[in-house]
Amino acid sequence: MLPIATALTVLDFAAMAVFAATGALAAARRKQDLIAFGVFAAVTGVGGGTLRDLLIGAPVFWVARPVYLAVCLTTAAVLWLTARPGWRLSALLWLDSVGTAAYAVVGTAKALDHATPALPAICMGVLTASFSGIVRDVLAGEPSVLLRKEIYITAALAGSATYVALTALHAPYPVAGPVAFAVAFGLRACALRFGWRLPGPPQWRDETD
């Protein structure tokens, strides 16, 4: 069984590669060149983790370990070679859902590891999971994923809160991590598949969308 630190590192790399792929796909949808692919992938891949590290006072992860940037740029190069015009927004959304769920766990776990209290740790998980997608959409000139009506931040919040709750109950990481990931991804997947959304203010419910 992998030690917790090793398991978190593996999940961190996987989440970052997935988010980098969504950045490269956003560049592909805009028919950008190789350099733009690299910029989109790098900024999307490390954006959420950078904000998290700055807020919790940790060394920014990719500055100390440039291999993170190398993974982002490699992902960009692969997608630049393989991307096809027919690739649609749905592919980006599903990859984003995987990355969101994974980063919700990684962000929360790292915050807890730096002695962050439970509630701020949940916030760090949500920020880690959502900020990269926000930056990607701004760069691509796309409507922000936050403005989509399906559940998005709530999925990251559910995953982060699940991880904090399970660790408070002394569940080992091989249990807490996958369960929290499954909660976040499952909720986001159902939102995409079935159009799940949270209700708006009561006074607006009678208005048409």
Extents of the domains making up the chain: 4-197
Say what the pLDDT of residue 132 is.
Answer: 87
Q: What is the pLDDT of residues 103-123, one digit of tens each?
A: 999 999 999 999 999 999 999
Query: How does pLDDT run across 67-96, given as a tens digit for each residue?
Result: 999 999 999 999 899 877 666 667 778 888
**pLDDT interval class at 205 (50, 70, 90):** low
C-alpha to C-alpha distance for 37 and 27, rounded to whole angstroms: 6
In angstroms, rounded to a whole number, what is the distance separating the alpha carbons of residues 93 and 83?
16
pLDDT above 70 as % of the chain? 90
Instruction: Report d(CA 46, CA 2) in Å as an integer.
Output: 24
CA–CA gap between residue 160 and residue 19 (Å, rounded)? 18
How does pLDDT run across 143-187, given as a tens digit for each residue?
777 776 778 899 999 999 999 999 999 998 889 999 999 999 999
